[in-house]
Amino acid sequence: MGKATGFLEFDRQDVVDRDPKERLADWYEVHTEMPEVEIREQAARCMDCGVPFCHSGDNASAPKVAGCPVNNLIPEWNDLVYRGLWREALDRLHKTNNFPEFTGRVCPAPCEGSCVLGINAPPVTIKHHENAIIERGFAEGWVVAKPPAQRTGKKIAVIGSGPAGLAAAAQLNSAGHHVVVFERADRIGGLLMYGIPNMKLEKHIIQRRLDLMSAEGVEFRTGVNVGVDISAEQLQQDYDAVLVATGATKPRDLPVPGRELKGVHFAMEFLTGNTKSLLDSAHADGNYISAKGKQVVVIGGGDTGTDCVGTSLRHGCAKITQLEIMPKPPVERAADNPWPEFPRTLKIDYGQEEAIAVQGQDPRDYQMMTQALVGNEAGQVVGVKRVAIEWVKNEQGQFSPQPIAGTEEVIAADLVLLAMGFTGPEASLLELFGIEQDARSNAKAAFDHYHTNVAKVFAAGDARRGQSLIVWAINEGRGAAREIDRFLMGSTLLP
Give percent above pLDDT 70 in the chain. 99
Q: How far apart are the C-alpha atoms of 377 and 271, rounded to whole Å?
A: 28
Coil/strand/helix, residue 89: helix
| pLDDT exceeds cutoff 70 at 5 | yes
The model's confidence at residue 343, banded by pLDDT at 50, 70 and 90, is: very high
Q: What is the mean pLDDT of residues 146-151?
A: 97
**pLDDT tens digit sequence for 172-213:** 999 999 999 999 999 999 999 999 999 999 999 999 999 999
CA separation for the pair 258, 211 (Å, rounded):
45
The answer to whether residue 61 scores a pLDDT higher than 70 is no
Query: Does 147 map to a domain?
Result: no
Beta bridge partners of 179: 156
Instruction: Please identify, among 140, 175, 194, the residue that sits at the C-terminal boundary of a domain.
Output: 140
Per-residue pLDDT of 308-342, as tens digits, reads: 999 999 999 999 999 999 999 999 999 999 999 99
Domain containing 390 — which CATH number? 3.50.50.60
Q: How confident is the model at residue 488 (pLDDT cuts 50, 70, 90)?
A: very high
pLDDT over 90 percentage in the chain: 93
Same domain, 333 and 413: yes
427 shares its domain with 416: no
Binned at pLDDT 50, 70 and 90, residue 458 comes out as very high
Q: Would the pLDDT of 390 be above 70?
A: yes
CA nearest to 195, candidates 144, 91, 269: 269
Judgement on whether residues 353 and 430 belong to the same structural domain of the protein: no
| pLDDT band at residue 19 under the 50/70/90 scheme | very high
Task: Report, as an integer, the average pLDDT of 433-452.
Answer: 96
Clarify whether residues 434 and 416 are in a common domain.
no
Look at residue 358 and tell me whether its pLDDT is greater than 70: yes
pLDDT at 63 over 70: no
Phi-psi category of 232—alpha, beta or left, where left has phi over 0 and alpha has psi -120 to 50? alpha
Note whether 237 and 172 are same-domain residues.
yes
**Sheet arrangement for strand 319-323:** 264-266, 415-418, 295-299, 319-323, 364-365
Answer yes or no: do 262 and 347 share one domain.
yes
Number of domains within the chain: 3
Which of 118, 285, 101 shows the shortest CA–CA distance to 205? 101
Domain end: 140, 175, 191, which one? 140
Q: DSSP 3-state assignment of 380?
A: strand
The reported pLDDT for the residue numbered 58 is: 75
- Where does the pLDDT of residue 48 fall: very low under 50, low under 70, confident under 90, or very high at 90 and above? confident
Residue 65: predicted pLDDT:
67
Q: What is the pLDDT, as a whole number, of residue 51?
A: 87
Residue 212 lies in a domain: yes
Domain shared by 385 and 442, yes or no? no
427, 414: one domain: no
Query: What single string gives the DSSP state of each residue in 415-468?
Result: EEEE---EEES-HHHHHHHT--B-TTSSB---TTT-B-SSTTEEE-THHHH-S-
Q: Please give the backbone phi and psi of residue 243, each rounded to the nearest 5 degrees, phi first.
A: -115, 125
The predicted model gives 413-433 an average pLDDT of: 96
Q: Does the CA dihedral 366-371-375-379 come out positive or negative?
A: positive
Continuous H helices in 286-346: 302-315
The predicted structure's pLDDT at residue 273? 98
Residue 149 within any structural domain of the chain: no
Confidence of residue 436 (pLDDT cuts 50, 70, 90): very high
Residues 29 and 17 in one domain: yes
Average pLDDT, the chain: 95
Please check whether residues 108 and 185 belong to one and the same domain.
no
Q: Let me know: does 218 contact 481? Beta carbons within 8 Å.
A: no
Q: Which domain holds residue 168?
A: 155-249+423-489
pLDDT at 392: 94
What's residue 64's pLDDT?
A: 67
Q: What is the pLDDT of residue 394?
A: 86
